Amino acid sequence: MNLSLELYYTEGHRSSSRQGFDTSLEWTGSSFEEFAFLYKIYPQHNTMGVFRGSELDISFSYIFFEKYKLYFGYNYNRSNFSYKNYSDVYVSYYQYTDGFTIYPQTPDSGREKIRGYYLGISAVF
């Protein structure tokens, strides 16, 4: 039986450039008309993404032909994600109202759990 526990903390700069185009139908009083919706997000270049969490791995192995090992295991990973120095700006234009909107984005953060079983083989040469 093999057992491992890993605690980690990692951070790094992100590369993000999101923009989009969409259309919507609006009732103008006598008919529906199609209008454009454009948006762009201007990211702060000093924003850092931060992951911290733990990973647990349990596996059973069987050695055969003296050089090979067959594994069956379970992996559980739990992490938290957040941002440092977050100050992105969202800019949009809506043709129906002929207006721009500019407002700061709120940072996303969250938790993630990843679980899985695996089957593996290794060899020593």
pLDDT at res. 52:
95
- State the virtual CA torsion across 92, 96, 99, 100 in degrees, nearest 10: 0
**94-112 residue pLDDT tens:** 887 888 888 888 777 789 9
pTM of full prediction above 0.75: no
**Distance of alpha carbon 60 from alpha carbon 63, whole angstroms:** 10
Residue 72 confidence class, pLDDT cut points 50, 70, 90: very high
pLDDT of residue 57: 97
pLDDT (tens digit, 9 = 90+) per residue, 8-52? Answer: 999 998 776 667 777 777 777 888 888 888 888 888 788 888 999
pLDDT of residue 17: 67
Name the DSSP letter for residue 105. P
The structure tokens listed for 18 are 């999101």
Strand order in the sheet with 99-104: 18-27, 32-42, 89-94, 99-104
How far apart (Å, rounded) are the C-alpha atoms in residues 11 and 85?
Answer: 12
Q: Do β-strands 89-94 and 99-104 pair in parallel, antiparallel, or remain unpaired?
A: antiparallel
> Confidence band (pLDDT; 50, 70, 90) for 84?
confident
